[in-house]
Structures are given as structure tokens and as C-alpha cells.
Amino acid sequence: EKLITPQTAFTCTGHLFPSRPTIFRCAEIHGTIQLVNAIAESCNVYFYNVGDLLGVDRLASWFHSYGLGQDSGFELPNNNGRMIDLNKLREDPESMRNEARFLGIGEGQIDATPLQMANAYATLLRGGKFIAPRILADAPEVVSQPVTISPEVLAIVKEGMRKCATSGTGKTVFGNFRLPVGGKTGTADDDNRPVFDDAGNPVFDPEKPLKNRDGSPKLGPDGLPMFRQAVEKGTHSWFIGYAPEDQPKFVVLALKEFGGYGATYAAPMVKEALLQLERHGYLPQVDVPK
């Protein structure tokens, strides 16, 4: 959209608004940061600003171009994910702006399946060429070109994802990896993490009683009132990696629900998958014995 350049910089103080430090936060204080390092370091504040510049309409259009919020064409029953309801949102201009900031970091009123996200990255790495995912090798290949990405723009984004693996949020996992890998950590907020006690039994919220349709308390087999299971805020751990970085052949995605930061659980699973691809000869065997 030509709204920023690789040199465009924003200042991250750990949150977007100094007077409202509990919202629009970042995991770190990155200071003044430019695009490539913002990708590598997962700077929320940078992409809150980018989302604000783009607005929800353009963001939703780009998400659709990468296959989000719609049927991927996969052979098995597939969840289409969830895309923001723009018509409903337009009723409140300030909410539109806040939603654009959240969408700038992939949060807000959007959900996507792991398959959709893996294929979105594959579409990006092909320069905007979308191929519907398939299981069977002899299934017809369904190809479209929803967007064309210039080689120069793609090179900038890939540089950020390469740095993510070598010196950014993925460096603790991929820092000593000899196979050139690019990728991106993701940490997705979820307010509905079920709570269990130390014995693994569900914990119920006494302030949220279950009710029948007529409004009367819902009773269990023992005749006592029933309550909703307690929930708490948690984060899903995501990592999407691709290799070889210079000529991508494989995209590998891992998601651990309520696993914390993307580098904590998801990135090691992607690393192990790439090692297996090396062991079996699908990638150059540089990190495993030949």
C-alpha cells in the first residue's frame, strides 16, 4: 500500500499510549525500531501503528487475499476461521481504529486454523500465488493469484523472518541451526483458558451459575446448583518456519494451545520437524549425521 518503507521507524516504550499502559502493550521496550527488526523482535507497538495506518478495510482485504476467513479448498471438512464483521464495526468509528491496531498484530476479531496460516505463509513465499492445500498427490491443483508481491517487498519481509530465527524471538531455538531457516513466532491471547485444580478436576466459578431457559437455577444429579467452569487468560504458542530460507521448499507450523510465548513450545516442535526432514533427505543434511 506504500504507506511505510523499510526505514519507517516507530518508538516502542512498552505500550502504545503512555497514559494507558495496560492496553496496547508490547512484551519488550524496543526503543526506536524499523521494519525488519520489528518483524524479528515481534514489536507490537510497531505493528499497532502499521495497523492504524492501514485501517480495518484494507487489513481485511489483505487477510482475505491470503486465504483467511474463507474456505481453503482442502479435501477434508475445514473450518473457515473468523473474519471481522466490517458492517457492524462501522457503527463505531473509534472501535474501528482500535480494531485496526489489534488486527495489525493479528489479534482482535479474527481467528484462523493452523492450515490456513501455513498456507498463508506459503502464498507469501510464492510471491502471492495461492494453491489450495491438498492431501492426495494426484488431486487437481487449484491455483489462483489473489495478490502479486514484488520481489523487493518479499525480500524485506523474508529478511525480518530470517532475523527472527538468527537473532530475534526465535534465536534461542534456531540460533545454532546451520540450515538457513526463516520464520515467525506468534503469541495469541485467549480469555477462555479452562481452570483445573492440582488433581486435574475442573474448577467452577461460583459467580456464574447455570440457568434453565425459564431463568431457574440448573441443578445437577445431586440436586445442587451447577456453575460454569472457571476460565482465565492464557496465550497460544505459535511458530511458522520455512526452509531453506533462500529457496523455500517446506513450510512447517506448530501450535500449542495455552503454551505461552511462540518460542517456548511451538518453535522447538518446528525445529524437530525440520530435523526430521533433514534426516529423511528432504532437506540438506547439515544439522544431522549423514
Q: What is the pLDDT of residue 91?
A: 76
HSE-up (13 A, CA, CB side) for residue 15: 9
Question: Strand pairing partners for 194?
Answer: 231
DSSP-assigned letters across all residues of the chain: --S--TT-EEEESSBS-TT-TTSSB-SS--EEEEHHHHHHHT-HHHHHHHHHHHHHHHHHHHHHHTTTTS----SS-----B---HHHHTT-HHHHHHHHHHHHTT-SS-B--HHHHHHHHHHHHTTS-EE---SSTTSPP-EE-S----HHHHHHHHHHHHHHHHTSTTHHHHTT--S--EEEEEEEEEEEEEPB-TTSPBPEEEEEE-B-TTSPBPB-TTSSB-EEEPEEEEEEEEEEEEESSSS--EEEEEEETT--STTTTHHHHHHHHHHHHHHTTSS--SSS--
Cβ atoms of 244 and 283 within 8 Å: the answer is: yes
Distances (CA, A) of 206 to 132, 211, 226, 229: 47, 13, 9, 9
Asked if omega into 244 is within 30° of 0 (cis), the reply is: yes
Task: Give the largest CA-CA distance in the chain.
Answer: 69
Write down the pLDDT at residue 162.
97
Other beta carbons within 10 Å of 37: 19
Q: In this predicted structure, what is the pLDDT of residue 183?
A: 97
Instruction: Count the alpha carbons within 13 Å of 217 in the hemisphere toward its beta carbon.
Output: 11
Partner residues linked to 60 by β-bridges: none
Q: Which residues pair with 219 in a beta bridge?
A: 225
**pLDDT tens by residue, the chain, 290 residues:** 999 999 999 999 999 998 888 889 999 999 999 999 999 999 999 999 999 999 999 999 999 999 998 888 887 776 788 888 887 777 777 788 999 999 999 988 888 999 999 999 999 999 999 999 998 889 999 999 999 999 999 999 999 999 999 999 999 999 999 999 999 999 988 888 888 888 889 899 888 999 998 989 999 999 999 999 888 888 899 999 999 999 999 999 999 998 888 999 999 999 999 999 999 999 999 999 87
Beta-carbon contacts of 258 under 8 Å, excluding residues fewer than 6 positions away, are 190, 193, 234, 235, 236
What does the pLDDT read at residue 283?
A: 97
**Residue 105 has what pLDDT?**
95
pLDDT for 18 equals 84
Please tell me the predicted confidence (pLDDT) of residue 22.
Answer: 84
